[in-house]
Amino acid sequence: MTQKSAIVTGGGRNIGQAISLRLQQDGYRIFALDVAKPEAESLQADAVMVDLTDAEATRQALRGILVSHKVTCLVNNVGLVAPAPLEAVQLEDFDRLMHLNLRTSIICAQLVVPEMRRHGGGRIVFNTSRVTKGKLDRTLYSATKGAAQSMARTWALELGKDSITVNCVAPGPIATTAFWENNPPDAPKTKAIVDAVPLGRMGTPEDVANAVSFFCDDRAGFVTGQTLFVCGGVTVG
């Protein structure tokens, strides 16, 4: 129980897998919690297949990890989008997104934080989104991510005395399968999104992972309650 370990929710695909791989490079043993098996072989041995919308299954998975591993890092990454204009928003999607995008973070923290205290501190990082500044057709997604950023600031105040930092990384347009599913490549809206990036390119999952790595580093111990936008500059203007 000497190697430091990290739990990454939704850590088996897209940005989550990139985060898992980067933290693995940083020396963490990675437990990727996801409904899908990671594509990366290095993550497969410790991957935990679990439906994170199931609260009790999530608790059981976490307890199985915490009983024998020194978890000092939690990355709340998992999330669904369900894009729709206001008049088409479904209440079923409200429950689904709130449970997965937000409730999962609470469940994980309630079990992991006592272990972090026992080990003298830790890192909690939320993967939120630039949609918290406003984006068409994102009523529910922006609500969950805005709530996550507010919750992170509250946790930063509550947990600071325990040397536990809590921060957010908020990606802008990132080239993932999830992005292309919600933004068809040939659609005028999608072209406008890409053209509006000041740096002139889409972001990569690795861009986000690098920011998460910074917040999880032992040397970032005086940074808490912050949100870092990894957006190519789209949130500046």
CATH number at residue 67: 3.40.50.720
Reading the block at residue 46, the tokens are 């410790």
Residue 81 included in any domain: yes
pLDDT digits (tens, 9 = 90+) for 175-230: 998 788 878 888 998 888 889 999 999 999 999 999 999 999 999 999 999 999 99
| pLDDT score recorded for residue 233 | 97
Q: Which of 28, 31, 141, 215 is catalytic?
A: 141
Share of the chain above pLDDT 90, in %: 90
pLDDT at 1 (0 to 100): 55
Predicted structure pTM score: 0.95
- Residue 63 lies inside a defined structural domain of this protein: yes
Residue 192 lies in a domain: no
237 part of a folded domain: no
pLDDT at 225: 98
Three-state SS letters, the chain: CCCEEEEEECCCCHHHHHHHHHHHHCCCEEEEEECCCCCCHHHHCCCEECCCCCHHHHHHHHHHHHCCCEEEEEEECCCCCCCECHHHCCHHHHHHHHHHHHHHHHHHHHHHHHHHHHCCCEEEEEECCHHHHCCCCEHHHHHHHHHHHHHHHHHHHHHHHHCEEEEEEEECCECCHHHHHHCCCCCHHHHHHHHCCCCCCCECHHHHHHHHHHHHCHHHCCCCCCEEEECCCCCCC
- Structural domain contains residue 236: no
In a domain, 145, yes or no: yes
**Residue 185 in domain:** no
Q: What is the count of structural domains for the chain? A: 1
What is the reported pLDDT for 116? 98
Within-domain flag for 147? yes
> What's phi and psi for 206, nearest 5 deg?
-65, -30
pLDDT along the chain (237 residues), means of 10: 89 96 98 96 98 98 97 98 95 97 98 98 98 95 98 98 98 90 85 91 97 98 98 93
Per-residue pLDDT, 47 = 98
Domain with 94, as residue range(s), is 4-175+204-229
Instruction: Output the pLDDT for position 180.
Output: 86
Active site residue 28: no
